[in-house]
Chain A
């Protein structure tokens, strides 16, 4: 009896499979996308908002919403990453090499009707430095203004004084604010920093009325490092941007309404009465919503871009160079507790813990990587090989920088001539890890493993998936043999790439034990040099240093894509802007 039922079950399953295979290709994408929700911009994307407080937010999903609701002193000029337009400032000038003044735009009002004054600007920056939440973005203010990376030391004790914060941002008069730097600082870098969501101007009166730091220095330390639950602007917002917060309903969606007081509406009307961002985890749901006209833009994973190819009413904007880069990093000093280095000795069944400290090993591995296959298969052809972490779109990017290419003969040569002897004879075995679900990284691992095996069958590299939290802790614990990681910058300056990738204390280079005093010195000089010629020399030298020292294998700079319905126009791509739609203020939606 049970056998008969099981047979019936299999027949039914097979029938269902056939039916679904027949039906599914026909579902979606067949008809014209209807025009829905005029005046409302609907976005479906992934992720979640962590906080709406500009001084706490350090993730792109939250930053995108902050950009819609707030404005800073400056904004990026269209698609440029190093020219700027005044938003809350009308103009700016250097008084001397360490003092920068901004004239504040008159007639600007917050979305509750309050006038924006110079006191609000001063409060916004001082509030950020007073509160300085743990692991937040405020270090970007502290470093140029006070030569420190935060208000507290490693034990949590406050190490700065109120006078220092107060002096860093001063009101000059009713229309002018001044930033006082501890030493000359690259102007463009500071402009980029104030363009970030952390540079948003908040309404002082609104914040104080809701229990935030009152703006006085008597008990300011009480407001330092607040718990997220105590952040006044965690789930509230009061800015001068084109939209204001209507409701935020975690985890599903956030709704914004038009700011009736928007300062520039007389010149360029706010294009949408409402902006809805819906967080939808499932790609089929997002895709169908786009095709049904229920959303105007849907986030499409790279592996699914073929799903929307040729759909008539979907506008695909492609070839957008993102300021991100993925790379393999060589761990030159693996922790002895690792379980990924085989026998942990170079005996054919493992690798020694300092295996990658030899430049010839690193060169051999690099020559074994196949960028063309990686770009074609993993990146669907939408990426460009780069030779160092300094990607196209950044100032001082060297388009003629040296790059490696796949060469198995050279790879074999270097591996035969390693400091550890002829590796093709000795052999090695280890495990490459990627974060679960990341098919792009999985493909990169497989390309490297297969090519090494092609050089010598004694080169045994296993590929293993681990969840994201594991991968992060393994990197930090230095138990990885090689780790694959990406980087999204805080601001579009090469220093923001040089430190994590190449400094001995960097986010990635630190755990990988890459340590080069000359490189450290160049990075330190580049961070604060105000001489653009010298900065170019420094960053060109660092790009060459990457080629020479090979801390890792730089893979490719992705080219992004956006999928809009045909009713949306005006999209312009700036790689520094958070979120898929970019600058919504200049977009529009119309049936015609």
Chain B
């Protein structure tokens, strides 16, 4: 009962959050003059002379709250507008692009979190030893590398040097044709999952081959943060009195570390992992662009560049909702990791 009311409260909280976010984004876009926003509708230089007519047609010179009200009214009637960035209704664009982004997140986040936790734990338990120094170097590397640089270098090596070994995109030409044929059912539009559901090994292998580089790029960069966070959290746990007690009781070091120290050290990591998943699920702009893995992030970037306001607002709605939901799931997960945590109350 307590959990249900907590969830209801959090979901209701979503309404003011969404209104606030969209008002903020809408306000920012209004800083651009109407003529600049009207260029969104121009696909040909000849249309330059049509800018005044475009401004009038779309009401781009009307007061801020009139324009926001018009948009909100459309949304309440189920119309999120037309996405010029992708030439389809916004309501279709999100489900259309989400599978690519989700596929990246589904593969990248577990890898980042599990390896990050493992290496962070090892670094803490081997503090100031070669292993710790080694992970520190890996972390610095991860932090230092810009994703566009890493992505390009990986692609040039594994696609360029080893001719065509790990290509960009989501599928190769032949598999791409196959998945669009009647012989292949698109259940989720997430290629790996669909390949498994269709029991199609070649598609699965091809999809995995295309996933390796973007997942690697995302992982190397994000793993560093989880690793360092886990290390410091573990060090703090290992210094606690109950760890001393556990060791004094003669428990094996493995049990002390895995059962007592790591479990408590996981709480901040779970929080960050939730945000990491939400961040990746709402798009990894550079990685999606470099590897032609066009998903939500690529769309948001295109929309921002084109001043495609309906798309930008929809992206904001989507991201805000995602973060609220992930936050909620993280809170629920806390109760599993730390029984002292009670939802709606303080740590007891």
A interface with B by C-beta (< 8 Å): 5, 8-9, 12-13, 16, 20, 23-24, 26-31, 34, 36-37, 40, 42, 48-51, 58-59, 134-135, 154, 156, 227-229, 234-235, 246-247, 250-253, 255, 274, 276, 278, 280-282, 284-285, 288-289, 291-294, 467-470, 472-473, 475-477, 485-488, 490, 500, 505, 507-508, 510-511
* Bound form: Cα–Cα A291–B292 in Å: 17
B161–A27 touching, CB < 8 Å: yes
Please report which residues of chain B, range 115-163, place their CB below 8 angstroms from some CB of chain A when the two chains form the complex.
136-137, 140-141, 143-145, 149, 152-153, 155-157, 159-161, 163
Identify B35's interface contact among A9, A26, A154, A477, CB under 8 A.
A477
B157–A235 touching, CB < 8 Å: no
Given the known interface contacts A274-B177, A470-B36, the answer about A294 and B48 at a Cβ–Cβ threshold of 8 Å is no
16 new A-B contacts at CB < 8 Å, known A476-B48, A487-B45: A8-B137, A8-B140, A16-B145, A27-B160, A31-B163, A135-B41, A135-B47, A255-B176, A255-B177, A282-B290, A292-B159, A469-B37, A470-B36, A473-B38, A473-B39, A511-B48
Q: How many A-B residue pairs have CB under 8 A?
A: 183
Identify B157's interface contact among A5, A16, A27, A274, CB under 8 A.
A27
* Bound form: Cα–Cα A16–B84 in Å: 40
Name the A residues within 8 Å of B170 (CB-CB). Answer: 252
* Bound form: Cα–Cα A510–B52 in Å: 14
A292–B163 touching, CB < 8 Å: yes
Of chain B, the residue at the smallest CB distance from A253 is B176
6 nearest CB pairs, A to B: A28-B160, A473-B35, A27-B160, A292-B164, A27-B156, A473-B36
State whether the Cβ of B44 lies closer than 8 Å to any Cβ in chain A.
yes
Q: Is the interface of B mostly helix, strand, loop or mixed?
A: helix
* Bound form: Cα–Cα A59–B47 in Å: 11
- Distance of A231 from chain B, by nearest CB (Å): 10
Please report which residues of chain B, range 28-49, place their CB below 8 angstroms from some CB of chain A when the two chains form the complex.
32-33, 35-49
State whether the Cβ of B283 lies closer than 8 Å to any Cβ in chain A.
no
* Bound form: Cα–Cα A234–B52 in Å: 25
Of chain B, the residue at the smallest CB distance from A234 is B87
B167–A507 touching, CB < 8 Å: no
- Distance of B289 from chain A, by nearest CB (Å): 5
A469–B172 touching, CB < 8 Å: no
Name the B residues within 8 Å of A30 (CB-CB). Answer: 161
B140–A294 touching, CB < 8 Å: no
Identify B144's interface contact among A12, A58, A476, A507, CB under 8 A.
A12
Given the known interface contacts A288-B159, A294-B172, A470-B36, the answer about A48 and B164 at a Cβ–Cβ threshold of 8 Å is no
A58–B292 touching, CB < 8 Å: no
* Bound form: Cα–Cα A285–B213 in Å: 13
Name the A residues within 8 Å of B164 (CB-CB). Answer: 34, 292-294
A500–B46 touching, CB < 8 Å: yes
Identify A289's interface contact among B85, B137, B167, B307, CB under 8 A.
B167
* Bound form: Cα–Cα A558–B140 in Å: 47
State whether the Cβ of B212 lies closer than 8 Å to any Cβ in chain A.
no
Of chain A, the residue at the smallest CB distance from B289 is A281
Name the A residues within 8 Å of B137 (CB-CB). Answer: 8, 12
State whether the Cβ of B197 lies closer than 8 Å to any Cβ in chain A.
no
Of chain B, the residue at the smallest CB distance from A37 is B173
* Bound form: Cα–Cα A280–B298 in Å: 11
Given the known interface contacts A281-B292, A507-B45, the answer about A9 and B140 at a Cβ–Cβ threshold of 8 Å is yes
